[in-house]
Amino acid sequence: MSITILGLGYIGLPTAAMFASHGTKVQGVDVNEDICRIINNGKIHIEEPFLAEIIKEQVSQGMITCRQEVSPSDAFIIAVPTPITDDKIADLSHVVSAGQSVAKVLKRGDLVILESTVPPRCTLDVLLPVLEESGLRAGVDFHLAHCPERVLPGQIIHELKHNNRVIGGVNMESAEKAKELYSVFVEGEMYLTDTITAELCKLMENTYRDVNIALANELAKICERLGTNAWDVIKFANKHPRVSLHAPGPGVGGHCLAIDPWFVVGAAPDISPIIELARKTNDSMPKYVAGKVNGLVPYGSKVVVLGCTYKPDIDDLRESPIMDLVELLGDNYKVVIVDPFVDSYDIDVYDAAKDADLVVLGVHHQQFAEIDLTQLAKVVKKPVLLDTRNYFSKSDAEKAGFEYHLLGASDIPQLGLLEAKREVALTNESDFPHP
């Protein structure tokens, strides 16, 4: 069987690597000429553990090639981007374009799988009509299915093979054909359903996490106001066997969590207020953190931000809340970014922190654990540390000489419950003039 994969990005390229390394020749297609050139030279344009070695080997053996145009094939996997507009509407132009390219070469018996994360009904209402411009009928003349990826960056190779998959077909025969194809390398369970269920399954997996994080972020704000520590609240609450609160932070990024819930809202805006509010809550966190910076150092101060990717230990900047934070601070502060995973920001942390007035921990890269806080405190102008991830130990930071502030924790001294209540009351009273 010949396989064509359209879109050789964070999902398409690892998927091509898995098929090829399990004995199936893959024709990759990408509209970006530079990406094709890089891949055909046996190299990769993204960072992902183990991927470079596989691509190098499979390209050298002729199992993977890349071109810009679609040729006839037995199976087509569409893994193109599905970004969101400024109006929070899904941009499906890449899906449409890919479908049009496939329609030109589609023949009876072919299998088309949409892997891109898409809004509900996209497979039926957007992709299917485009493919049927070929004159062939979905579910009759060719097979059509939606099989969303469910992998974690940094662990994609392992999870592509071992994770369970949900496959939605326009009919059961299409779902079965897709299952047969993925069986080449997938060892996890594969569950067959309809396309709308499969679309919503992927969206709700990420929406669940987004709503949970929004709850944690709201708790962080509440705890700061009430004079306690959200991280302690979460730790103790999660001792309950049926509670699993996520951690707060400076926002939610990435192509999935920051976008997928909007796909659900867009499909039913009048009956999804919880999902929409959670999204707005998480989108508000960079501004909230910027407000904390404003309260710690005056305008014109030098601020060093540690980490700018959307999650730890990857190079992906897509929808990064830290980049939103940097933009918010940029007009009023001298901002320097340090990130070992991004070439343009891979600079020595101690050099970057010279004469800094504030250090902000934005992303908890494992490499930051190697930072010598004592040395860092010596090079900054003012040893003030704002930790948005509960990454550094408060006692270690203060021992090193830092004034330590934690997102989600009140700066009121922890003097015991009664004293904390008294301090909060006094603080609140001071906000109002006495009659």
Q: pLDDT per residue over 281-303, tens digit each?
A: 999 999 999 999 999 999 999 99
Decide if pLDDT at 417 tops 90. Answer: no
User: Pairing relation of β-strands 358-361 and 334-338?
Assistant: unpaired
Contact between 21 and 163 under an 8 Å Cβ cutoff? The reply is: no
CB atoms within 10 A of CB 418: 8
CA gap 22, 344 in Å, rounded: 36
Looking at the DSSP bridge assignments, the partners of residue 190 are 165
Let me know if domain 207-406 sits in CATH 3.40.50.720. yes
Q: What are the residue numbers of the active site?
A: 202, 256
CB atoms within 10 A of CB 188: 14
CATH class of 3-188: alpha beta
**pLDDT class for 32, splitting at 50, 70, 90?**
very high
Tell me, what's the pLDDT at 249?
98
Decide if pLDDT at 365 tops 80. Answer: yes
Decide if pLDDT at 412 tops 80. Answer: no
Percent of the chain with pLDDT over 70: 94
Decide if pLDDT at 311 tops 60. Answer: yes
Tell me, what's the pLDDT at 1?
87
Contacts (Cβ under 8 Å, ≥6 apart) of 422 = none
Q: What average pLDDT is seen over the chain?
A: 94
Tell me, what's the pLDDT at 275?
98
Q: In terms of Cα–Cα distance, which of 413, 433, 409 is closest to 423?
A: 413
Decide if pLDDT at 250 tops 50. Answer: yes
Give 189-233 pLDDT, tens digit per residue: 999 999 999 999 999 999 999 999 999 999 999 999 999 999 999
Decide if pLDDT at 234 tops 60. Answer: yes
Decide if pLDDT at 236 tops 90. Answer: yes
Q: In terms of Cα–Cα distance, which of 14, 332, 8, 41 is closest to 155?
A: 14
Decide if pLDDT at 435 tops 90. Answer: no
Tell me, what's the pLDDT at 420?
44
Give 104-162 pLDDT, tens digit per residue: 999 999 999 999 999 999 999 999 999 999 999 999 999 999 999 989 888 999 999 99
Tell me, what's the pLDDT at 151?
92
Tell me, what's the pLDDT at 413?
58
If DSSP codes are grouped into helix, strand and coil, which group holds residue 361? strand
Does the fold of domain 207-406 match that of domain 3-188? yes
pTM of the model: 0.88
Decide if pLDDT at 387 tops 70. Answer: yes
**pLDDT class for 433, splitting at 50, 70, 90?**
very low
- Domain ranges in the chain are 3-188, 207-406
Sequence letter at residue 328: L
CA gap 163, 390 in Å, rounded: 30
